[in-house]
Chain A
Amino acid sequence: MIDLELQKELDKNLALAARPQVRKVFQKAFQKKKNEMIAEFLNHPVTIEIKGGVNAANISGTLGGGSGNLFSFIGFDSEDDPIDPILRLLESTNFDYVKASKKRINYRINIPTAKDVFSVTPMPWASGRSWAKGIETGISGLGFYLRKKSDSSRSGIGIQSPRKVRKGGTKFKNTSYISAFLKKYKKEFENLQVL
């Protein structure tokens, strides 16, 4: 009968010996999940709408689905690409080897947090605020109205006075976005296993 300590050592050595092969298999599964995460982000209605720029329709329903869109409502310049910093953060998701034990090899997944995303998504008119967080907790129409004064609307859509817009129904409706999305994928990555 093999001593229990020896068995543990054998298991660990076995895991260590298999590390390069396991890494390859894990890398494949990890990449698949990462691609899935990025695809889901890019297909989120808010992402699509903002990526669509000044001419996008309000497919996210955050503005009541009427005229106008998030890109203009938040107050971005037409040449801005607000999605790119989030995409780059998601693409930076990676994993590290942690330890081998009991025939297992453990990896740590480094996925951005919601706070990381909020720090790279400043409002165009108040850089300490995050538009991505605002999607979840509420965005005032200030950015929209500030463009009224700008050189014939940089984002290219019509301007109304604050009261007209508010009473006319262009009131922002919160929706879940980054926090719920990252929470979901954090869990999915944690449950990622290869045999």
Chain B
Amino acid sequence: MKPQYQHELMTSFMLWFDHELLQKGEAYSNQTGFLYYDDDSRLPSPYKAYASPYKQWVNDSSIFGETNPVIPTSFNGYDRTDDIIFDFENGRIIETGGAFGTDEVLSGTFAVKDFNIYLTNETEEDLILENKFEVNSRYLMNPSAVKPYDQMVPAIFLNCEFMRNEGFAFGGEDRTTNMIKAVVLAENSYQLDGALSIFADSARKVISKIPFSKHPSTEYNDIKNGSYNYVTLSNTYLNSNPYYIEDVTVSKISQKAQSKIPSDLQIGFIDFEISTNRYPRS
């Protein structure tokens, strides 16, 4: 199936969301440390993965702050020309040429997001009550590779639960409204309040509609062409019928309810109402 409206909306929204949080909140920290060999059965046999104790790494070079994020381009002299893939999503590198063994010593510096961002179809009750997440802790006594593909907290889960088309103008133009709900799982109240505050201020902003084919990541979560700059990408498409954030409501789970949740995570919700005018029947 070729990408549809909802696919483009969610990928564009996720890229914007990630950028907004990183830029407005400087929600990242630079970490220096070792990468550890991690046997990943999903990778083809000659591939070797070396993972950091954190995921996800920052990959957006448009982010700047008091301390700029370090976007890794090499570890111990090994870079993309040495058959290295940078898997930003899983906080690791993958060597594809068969040159690495299982006992390489690799270290370096990379920027880790304060919040991992995930698209999800899980219900809020499953996310909050059922899942047992690993914590992307900043203070590790015994660092080791984190398992790939598992979701780690602090994290924000995005889900588009509702879409409606309403007649807008003669000629078949509709106003399409989507509700995108974000569940925020934070380590502490400071972190939660920060994320909620950033997005409460995002009402009436516009989000560029970035074509599906222009998504910056490859299948292994590396960045295409070795560099990704959200601002440049977004500006390229800003005039092609962008999405408009009609309304945002943020909310924290009540203290009473919080006490009934079987984890120490602080929980909040961000509900976005996004609209755009389009011709869905053409």
Report A's interface with B, CB cutoff 8 A: 123-130, 137-138, 140-146, 148-150, 162-163, 166, 174
> In the complex where A140-B125, A162-B130, A166-B123 touch, is A129 in contact with B260 (Cβ < 8 A)?
no
The answer on a CB contact under 8 Å between B125 and A129 is no
Interface size class of B (residues with CB under 8 A): 20 to 34
Option from B129, B251, B252, B257 in Cβ contact (under 8 Å) with A162: B129
> In the complex where A128-B250, A145-B125, A163-B126 touch, is A137 in contact with B162 (Cβ < 8 A)?
yes
> In the complex where A129-B269, A162-B130 touch, is A141 in contact with B125 (Cβ < 8 A)?
yes
Q: Which residues on the A side are within 8 Å of B250 (C-beta)? A: 128
> In the complex where A137-B179, A162-B126, A162-B129 touch, is A127 in contact with B251 (Cβ < 8 A)?
yes
Least Cβ–Cβ distance between B204 and chain A, in angstroms: 14
Interface 0/1 of B24-48, CB less than 8 Å to A: 0000000000000000000000000
The A contact surface, by secondary structure, is: mixed
Least Cβ–Cβ distance between B268 and chain A, in angstroms: 8
> In the complex where A137-B179, A162-B125 touch, is A129 in contact with B251 (Cβ < 8 A)?
yes
The answer on a CB contact under 8 Å between A128 and B249 is yes
> In the complex where A137-B179, A150-B260 touch, is A126 in contact with B253 (Cβ < 8 A)?
yes
B271 within 8 A of A: yes
A-B contact count (CB 8 A): 62
The answer on a CB contact under 8 Å between A126 and B130 is no
Interface residues of B in 151-197 (CB under 8 A from A): 161-162, 179
The answer on a CB contact under 8 Å between B254 and A125 is yes
Least Cβ–Cβ distance between A79 and chain B, in angstroms: 15
Least Cβ–Cβ distance between B198 and chain A, in angstroms: 15
Could you tell me the distance between the alpha carbons of A129 and B272 in the complex, rounded to whole angstroms?
11
A-B pairs with the 6 shortest C-beta distances?
A128-B251, A149-B260, A140-B124, A125-B257, A126-B251, A162-B125
Option from A124, A128, A138, A148 in Cβ contact (under 8 Å) with B179: A138
